[in-house]
Amino acid sequence: MAVNIEVNENRRYGIRSPLIYGHFIEHFHRQIYDGIYDPESPLADEDGFRTDIIEAMKKIKVPILRWPGGCFVSSYHWKEGVGDNRKPFFDKAWRVEDPNTFGTDEFIKLCQKIGCEPYICTNAGTGTAEEMSDWVEYCNLDHEGQYAKWRIQNGFRDPHNVKYWSIGNENYGSWEIGAKSAEEWGRLVREAGKMMKHVDPQAELSAAALPNIEWNINLLKNAGEFIDWVSIHEYWDMVPEKNDLATYEQCMAFTKHIDHAVEEVRGLLKAMKLDKKIKIAFDEWNLRSWHHPNVHTIKQGIHKKDYIDPRDKNDDNSQYTMADAIFTASFLSAMNRNCDIVGLANFAPILNTRGCLYSNSEGIVLRSTYHVFDLYVNYLGDTIIDSWSEEVPTMKVNHKNGVEIEIESLDILATKWIDKPGIALAIINKLSDEGQTITLSFPFPPTGKSVSLYGISGEAPDSYNDVGKNEITIFKEDLGDYSKNMEIQLKSHSVNIIQIGARHPLNSE
């Protein structure tokens, strides 16, 4: 039976921020060194950056890039990573030596090459409020003070103009260096925010939050007047110690109430009458956590084979299947629907580890999740409009915790463009082995408008891309002109963008 979809383009929920399609990069394993920054590579430019990776990032219009962490930042001192007198240091978060050749100025160069906003996460673990505000001075003041003058001395006359700053990372967690209590956190964020805003009143500040009433109330009561964002993180398939990845079915279970953290934090902001002042930055997220055993535990690995070598398991491309793609699309659709409160998000990370890009010495692989970003960034509209369906089929799946749950088998999001004609639907079919039929039944007459479907599926739910292997790529189907009650067939385990009357340069092949 076909699922009937109705759309009211005149009922607009809001315009999503392009920043929800942001990304993240950290000094972990092969993300920076032997990743995006590899001066010895024949594929690198004059500044040491891999041009193939940058081009791939530009294609999905990366709007904002968060750096340098992550857990790494909580013992990172930025002043040691600028200028000529740099020395390698031991990174206490990930227990490796960092050569310190990639620092603030290199990060800004990278963002300029990509064409994205830099988003700097500061050290709120072993760092101080003054150190954080000194960083803002270095980046944003024209010439006043020793740090702006130091930037000029380092060859950057114009300010870096970093608008987005995060005070700390996951400082609520016992795994984080310099973890804080709720009371300590509220006071530190207040003082850091105060000093950073004194340096640059236009800087937008975020601070670590989570769906926890005590933590958030302490943060917002103490520092609510100084921050513009609350930062939340989530990974659903937690595999830091044992790389036992969830199955396709278990990943579908994770999509139920995928935006629960947003709803919980939204409720608290609204209760404290801050929902019009402070937005949510979901600035670290992915389906699967990074695999890094024997580091964030009391018992530490002694030999590198116990805590360094296992990180190579993150580079197994066979792990990144249509399960990852469908989860990622479900998350992005949910953030679109929450466009009134979520203004920024960062997929963690963009490169290697669990990234949507994989690099080796000879080139890159576009993992399944890369194509999801391509679809949502380049084919979906920016204005969320009303859509509804009756009797969406459900499916029963087993959660990784063993509990059987029921979820809807289709995820439907309707959009249009604020400055272009046309409608675009994002429709996700979560069924692993069955296609589905949808019927478009609109109350307005777009008759005669052409219909195109762009999507990804793969031959099987476990399809993946690897070196010399492209099982998942974007396909296009021209479906002819729209007619009322038009039926469209969706492939199994697929992510689809259906455009109606969207003839503009973006999609004119």
* Cβ atoms of 189 and 169 closer than 8 Å: no
What is the DSSP track for 297-347?
A: SSSPPSSHHHHTGGGGGGG-GGG--HHHHHHHHHHHHHHHHTTTTEEEEEE
Cα separations in angstroms, 134 against 78, 110, 151, 195, 421: 9, 22, 12, 9, 47
Residues 390 and 358 occupy one common structural domain: no
User: Both 353 and 259 in a single domain?
Assistant: yes
| Contacts of 403 by beta carbon, 8 Å cutoff, 6+ apart | none
Report CA-CA distances (Å) from 54 to 116, 120, 300, 355, 508: 11, 19, 36, 14, 24
Establish whether 471 is a catalytic residue: no
Residue in this structure with the two tokens 């050749």, named with its chain if needed: 101
Q: Region 423-449: what's the mean pLDDT?
A: 89
Co-location of 31 and 82 in the same domain: yes
182-199 vs 129-140: helix crossing angle, rounded to 10: 30
Do 371 and 437 lie in a common domain?
no
What is the reported pLDDT for 503? Answer: 65
pLDDT at 508: 41
Q: ∠ at Cα 63 (58, 66), nearest 5°?
A: 105
Separation CA 395–CA 407 (nearest Å): 6
Q: Which of 327, 359, 378 is the last residue of a domain?
A: 378
How sure is the predictor about 509, in pLDDT bands with cuts at 50, 70 and 90?
A: very low
Among 106, 137, 170, 176, the active-site one is: 170
Given pLDDT bands bounded at 50, 70 and 90, which one contains residue 505?
Answer: very low
**CATH number of the structural domain spanning residue 167:** 3.20.20.80
Let me know how many helices (H) and strands (E) the chain has, helices first: 11, 25
Residue 247 and residue 210 share a domain: yes
Average pLDDT of the residues in 129-137: 98
Q: Is the dihedral of CA 104, 107, 111, 113 positive or negative?
A: positive
**Is residue 364 located within the same domain as residue 404?**
no
- Lowest mean pLDDT of 120-124, 271-275, 471-475, name the range: 271-275
pLDDT at 447: 63
Q: Are 252 and 411 in contact (CB under 8 A)?
A: no
| Beta pairing class for 204-208 and 229-237 | parallel
Q: Are residues 413 and 484 in the same domain?
A: yes
pLDDT at 445: 62
User: Would you call 289 exposed, middle or buried from its count of C-beta atoms within 10 A (0-12, 13-18, 19+)?
Assistant: middle
Whole domain around residue 478: which residue ranges?
3-12+383-507
Structure tokens at 300: 């530490």
Are 137 and 46 part of one and the same domain? yes
Query: Looking at 111-125, 280-294, 442-456, which range is the least confident one?
Result: 442-456
Q: Residues 200, 138: contact at Cβ < 8 Å? A: no
The pair of three-digit structure tokens given for residue 203, joined into one six-digit string: 């800087």
The reported pLDDT for the residue numbered 446 is 65
Q: How many CA atoms lie within 13 A of 237 on its CB side?
A: 28
User: For 73-100, what is the mean pLDDT?
Assistant: 97
> What is the tally of structural domains in the chain?
2
280 and 393 both lie in a single domain: no
CATH of the domain at 434: 2.60.40.1180
My answer on whether 280 and 422 are in the same domain is no
Q: What's the burial of 241, exposed, middle or buried (CB within 10 Å: 0-12/13-18/19+)?
A: middle
Mean pLDDT of the chain: 96
Tell me which residue has tokens 């690995």. Answer: 301
**Which of 330, 360, 378 lies at the terminal end of a domain, its last residue?**
378
The one catalytic residue in 9, 117, 176, 284 is 284
Task: State yes or no: is 284 an active-site residue.
Answer: yes
**Confidence at 390, pLDDT banded by 50, 70, 90:** confident
Cis peptide preceding 70, ω within 30 of 0:
yes
* Other beta carbons less than 10 A from residue 328's beta carbon: 26
Residues 205-225 have a mean pLDDT of: 94
Question: 328, 362, 378 — which closes off a domain?
Answer: 378
For residues 384-394, give the mean pLDDT: 93
In this structure, the answer to whether residues 92 and 236 fall within a common structural domain is: yes
pLDDT higher than threshold 50 for residue 507: no
The pLDDT of residue 212: 87
Whether residue 258 is predicted with pLDDT greater than 90 in this model: the reply is yes
Given a cut of 70, whether residue 377 has pLDDT beyond it is: yes
Please state, in angstroms and rounded to a whole number, the distance separating the CA atoms of residues 383 and 504: 16
Contact 417, 433 (CB under 8 A): no
| Shared-domain flag, residues 175 and 276 | yes
Residue 484: pLDDT band by 50, 70, 90 thresholds? confident
Contacts (Cβ under 8 Å, ≥6 apart) of 444: 9
What angle, rounded to 10 degrees, do the helices at 129-140 and 145-153 form?
A: 50
